[in-house]
Amino acid sequence: MFRNISYAVLFLLALFYIAEVNCEESLGVVNGEVVEPHSLPYQVAIKTIINDREILCGGSLIKTNKVLTAAWCVSGADSVEVILGAHNISEVEETQVRLNSSTFVIHEEYDPDTHLNDIAIVVLPEEVALTDAIQLIATPSLGDILKSYSDELGQVAGWGRFDDSSPAYSDVLRRIQATIIPNIACTVPYLFSIQPYQICLTGVQFRQNICLGDSGSPLIADNIQVGIASYGSDFGCSAGFPGVYTRLTSFYFWLETHV
């Protein structure tokens, strides 16, 4: 009985917190506004085929020859196409660099069923030259390990679906900005499956969220990548559920080993 009461209290606290950040609604846009071309130069698109299915993901350039992404995006792939310096991925822009890679480092304890340890690195076949359209993004330092980032403004961008009712991906890069919420406000909607090494972005604020095609995209707070887009609710991208990300501070030592 005590356990049931505790769950009820947690549920009410989560609803209260979500209501606090849900200060305004816009037009139900899933993936937000189109960004100024090449204003997020660390952003990377990843294309591959897994189990005869075409996969689109996001990623981030963290070294001149290494791209950080979700394990889901490369697990089971033979090779991937990495597109750097892009705004419109349906076009071959002068700023773009396209490379193929078959070298991945997937977290040893990645679980595709629970999405836990959803982190991987794509090793590029060569170092890329940094330009105005291709830049590195910083990841958390050792001093950031204890930061929760709760209540900070988070930003995520991608080329994923921008409408639940449409199977089409976005040709151009879109972004959302929303509040990073405490894990207690995220774990209730996901039936207490959220772990400390995950981080969540509210899905009710402005009715924006990540969607299919955005996995692997970087979650940015104060110009630092603090998360990797992992998954959302089965009820739909605009259903108001939080977006779930891999928390990079929890993988600081893993990154130090492999980067």
List, as one string, the DSSP characters of the chain: -HHHHHHHHHHHHHHHHHHHH-----S--SS-EEPPTTSSTTEEEEEEEETTEEEEEEEEEEETTEEEE-GGGTTT-S-EEEEES-SBTTS--TT-EEEEE-EEEE-TT-BTTTTBT--EEEEPSSPPPP-SS----B---GGGTT---TTSEEEEEESSBS-TT--PBPSB-EEEEEEEE-HHHHHTTTTT---TTEEEE-SSGGG----TT-TTPEEEETTEEEEEEEE--TT-TTSSPPEEEEEGGGGHHHHHHH-
Tens-place pLDDT, residues 102-153: 999 999 999 999 999 999 999 999 999 999 999 999 999 999 999 999 999 9
Domain range for 67 is 43-136+254-258
- Total domain count, the chain: 2
CATH code, domain with 81: 2.40.10.10
**Same-domain check for residues 208 and 145:** yes
**Same-domain check for residues 150 and 211:** yes
**Same-domain check for residues 25 and 145:** yes
**Same-domain check for residues 116 and 197:** no
**Same-domain check for residues 92 and 160:** no
Tens-place pLDDT, residues 190-240: 888 999 999 999 866 555 667 778 999 999 999 999 999 998 877 767 677
**Same-domain check for residues 160 and 232:** yes
**Same-domain check for residues 147 and 27:** yes
